[in-house]
Amino acid sequence: MNLFANHCRCSIMTVMMLRYFLLPLLLAACLNGCASPINTANTSTIQAQVTHVIDGDTIEVNIYGQSYRVRYIGIDAPEVYPDEEPYGQEAAIKNKELVEGKTVALEKDVSETDKYGRLLRYVYVNDLFVNGEMVRLGYAQAITYPPDVKHQDMLIECQREAREEGRGLWGN
């Protein structure tokens, strides 16, 4: 009888703990996590669907039904708008080939957005690091904007390779 009574007390304590402590805590955590569809407090990477390619370093994506503009971190491609710069169209076309209509992983560095409100992210299609590929193929150049420098050494190396091989922007 004593063993049964101890078991019941433990079960009642467990239920009370769940009901009055853990459930409100879990609910608060969920609500906090649901407040922003791009909450990256717990992770630096999120999946998105590319809906439109703006140019060689900017895309539009859909994240949980909401549209965002994303600026690639660490690179600068020639502009297409408002005035087209040399090699701007080629960079935009290559970016479309790499990402348009695809699911991408967006990796945050330090900054959330730039002064224009665009998300600042490193972009991946499967195992392909798109920021690096754009630089490696000569469609963009590596550019450093601290504090977002996580992959800057790799991007500089991609640019060195593109220059040595005379690719894209670095061609004759």
The string of pLDDT tens digits covering residues 31-60 is 333 333 454 454 589 999 999 999 999 999
- At 36 the pLDDT is 37
Quick: pLDDT tens for 117-165.
Answer: 999 999 999 999 999 999 999 999 999 999 999 999 999 999 999 999 9
DSSP codes joined into one string, 50-80: EEEE-SSSEEEEEETTEEEEEEETTEEPPP-
- At 44 the pLDDT is 85
**pLDDT at residue 11 tops 60:** no
Contact 46, 63 (CB under 8 A): yes
For the chain, the domains span 1-35, 45-170
Q: State pTM to two decimals.
A: 0.76
Least confident of 7-11, 39-43, 91-95, 123-127: 7-11
Q: What is the mean pLDDT of residues 61-80?
A: 97
From residue 41, how far is each of 32, 44, 102, 110, 149 by CA, in Å?
A: 10, 7, 25, 11, 19
Residue 25: count of CB within 10 angstroms of its CB: 10
User: Which residue numbers are catalytic?
Assistant: 71, 79, 118
Q: Tell me the three state secondary structure of residue 160.
A: helix
Gap between the Cα atoms of 120 and 70, Å rounded: 6
Residue with tokens 């490193």: 122
- Where does 45-170 sit in CATH, by number? 2.40.50.90
What is the chain's mean pLDDT, rounded? 83
Residue 3: Cβ-neighbour burial (10 angstroms; 0-12, 13-18, 19+): exposed
**pLDDT at residue 7 tops 70:** no
